Amino acid sequence: MSRVNDTIQFMAKKKLITREEIDNLVSVGNPNISPDGSQILYTKKCVKDGRNHTTIWVAQTKGSKLPRQLTNNGMDGSPHWSPDGSQVAFIRGSETGSQIFMIDMTGGEAIQLTNFKEGSIASISWCPSGCKLAVSYRQTEEVYTHAATEKRKENKESDPPIVTEEAWYRLDGDGYFGHARFHLYLVDSTTGAHKTIWAKDTLGFFSFAWSPKGDAIAITTNTSKNALTDSRLTKIVLYNLNSGKTTTLPNCTKGPKDSIQWSPNGKWLAWAGREGDESTYSTENLELYVASATKGNAKSITAGIDRCLMAVTLSDTGEVSFGAQLLWSGDSKNIFARIGWHGEEQICSIPIKGGKLKTITSGNAVHSISNLSSTGKSCAMMIGCATAPPEIYVGKITPTKITTKQISFENSNWCKEHAIATPKDCWIATNDKTKVHCWVIRPPKEAAKKKSMPAILQIHGGPHAQYGWAFFHEFQCLASAGYTVYYSNPRGSKGYGRDHCDAIRNDWGGADWVDMQAVIRKMQNDTKVNAKNMGVMGGSYGGYMTNWIVGHTDEFKSAITDRCVSNLVSMGGNSDFADKEDGYFGGNFWSRPEDRWRQSPIRHFGNVKTPMLIIHSEGDLRCNIEQSEQVFAALKLRGIEARFVRYPKSTSHGFSRGGAPDMRKHRLNEILTWWKRQLH
């Protein structure tokens, strides 16, 4: 009996989730299965001495041995097995750039392979023979190097001006790089000697894949002078290693192309693409294309399937990748793709001849697939759910399903020790008979104090992404603090078909606002929610919709707008991706701004009565901080209660997911303190 009582007592003492738990959560990533399928490499990011610390680990796919640490530098990533499984190549960062390092799996320390000048390495890929690596690398412009910076300090000189003649010179999270671009290099895997093989991509956004024989590399590339605003000239270039010459794959569609993969039998190429001038990020579905590796004649094999290869589920406990995930089956007859749908991400199998999409994973979870073993029967995966951060899995592939086995347990004890609230989903009908997918997280019993609790509406960014069955530390913090959390996928979200996503194109504040009103009514009619004690918050586009809501209703007692959009006119020219004329939005931001102004929340701030916390990063290159400055100025000039928290230039648009731990904790403290002050 005492054992039963002890168990009940232990269960009752689960810890509430706080902002400080950021330091205790582990983020895993970059899984890579060995050729023989016996081991999987992965990265492990944790907080050490107050900073993010990323190391490489290896886990056995069979047996019960614990994972083994391979590196301890703290800035290591992107591990890849050599084709024979004897070595591992990975990228190591430092204050003077990144280099490729090698580890011999029979023992010994990591050895530096490359001696690139200061710069960044985006990706690496082994040649099938193991003698070379293909590497995407960008050299830093001399004036911005670490050595030049230190010399200026010695000479007591100012930082140099940023000078550019190119529209593409900065990227959020990457900073200002000027005219520098990623080029494709071949690196000798023994000596580290390298040479450039492709340097014509206008933006440096190319993807690439080796042929099975290792005698060619396929590259998706846009060499147009207008590549920033027009993807129609994106082509597939085949580089021949023997001759050093390139040819263009014929008869391909005019539109973006990315995530290229070469079939194991060498006959086919597959990639994610679409027809049109927009990038891969669009309201239109990103489709799966297949073409002959010699004759081209590209064909979309998902054109008749209303699914998008870029329907990403947002979270704050892992890196969010907006790229498509594609892998060929071992027999070259099918392609595995990650598909986001109704808040899940599943792995689907698609025959290259076209036909029905077959879902081969299941459950309310977010799945990703990385690479296959040499036999094609095993794969490296990550799986996460709403009540646990992602972990590493090995998948066993059959024609009808992938059977998974968990092999990393980095957060298992943490999950057992904490009071994690389980969300429940529902569908809400709107006034125009649309159905909106919604989730509700109730405070755990350890935090519930009253029958009727305050509630917070969370609105996702993008807007072309989705909320769903992914673990959100921020949501759990709010639940542990006693708040009911609502979140949903209104029109504009991915994961519900092309029309659902396209409904807000050039009409922000239209169908999405109709859907949000239905969610608000649901909250007000919730008997477990105090309808007079509700708050609304969101980041990026979620900040936009928060601003729109407070300009159109007084139903919320308070609001938090985070890294927001408030004025689509000024936003058109100050984001890292400038809005082109008559593109996503009608008109332009200089002489025909009517469409943008019609959809701008700041236009309605004469109606706002809601107290607001405003959060933004001075280093945000996606949504410039002036967007929040306009919100703060309007509120203060009108005498509305407002608090403005400006994070330093060292932070970026997405720092709430992967930024410095102290800044992330500070942000969460501001959020929790604001709600405690406002919702009582």
Amino acid 12: pLDDT? 57
Angle (CA) 110-116-122 rounded to 5° is: 80
Residue 149 pLDDT level (bands cut at 50, 70, 90): very high
Amino acid 261: pLDDT? 98
Cβ-proximal residues to 108 (8 Å cutoff; 6+ apart), any chain: none
pLDDT tens digits, one per residue of 162-171: 999 999 999 9
Residue 451 pLDDT level (bands cut at 50, 70, 90): confident
pLDDT tens digits, one per residue of 185-227: 999 999 999 999 999 999 999 999 999 999 999 999 999 999 9
pLDDT > 90? residue 632: yes
Percent of the chain with pLDDT over 90: 94
pLDDT > 90? residue 87: yes
Prediction pTM value: 0.96
User: Are residues 529 and 515 in contact, defined by beta-carbon separation less than 8 angstroms?
Assistant: no
pLDDT > 60? residue 575: yes
Separation between Cα atoms, residue 680 and residue 678, nearest integer Å: 6
User: Are residues 335 and 328 in contact, defined by beta-carbon separation less than 8 angstroms?
Assistant: yes
Residue 450 pLDDT level (bands cut at 50, 70, 90): confident
Mean of the pLDDT values across residues 583-591?
Answer: 97
In three-state secondary structure terms, 298 is strand
Query: Tokens 């569609």 belong to which residue?
Result: 253
Separation between Cα atoms, residue 71 and residue 66, nearest integer Å: 16
Separation between Cα atoms, residue 223 and residue 203, nearest integer Å: 8
pLDDT tens digits, one per residue of 242-261: 999 999 999 999 999 999 99
User: Are residues 430 and 436 in contact, defined by beta-carbon separation less than 8 angstroms?
Assistant: yes
The token pair that represents 193 in the structure block: 């000697």
Amino acid 5: pLDDT? 45
Amino acid 3: pLDDT? 44
Amino acid 1: pLDDT? 41
Mean of the pLDDT values across residues 335-343?
Answer: 98
Residue environment code for 572-604, b if the CB has 16+ CB neighbours within 10 A, otherwise e: bebbbbebbeebebbbbbeeebebbebbbbbbe
pLDDT > 80? residue 103: yes
Chain centre distance of CA 552 = 31
The full set of domains in the chain, from first to last, is: 425-678 (3.40.50.1820)
Amino acid 646: pLDDT? 98
Percent of the chain with pLDDT over 70: 98
pLDDT tens digits, one per residue of 266-319: 999 999 999 999 999 999 999 999 999 999 999 999 999 999 999 999 999 977
Mean of the pLDDT values across residues 628-632?
Answer: 98
pLDDT > 70? residue 4: no
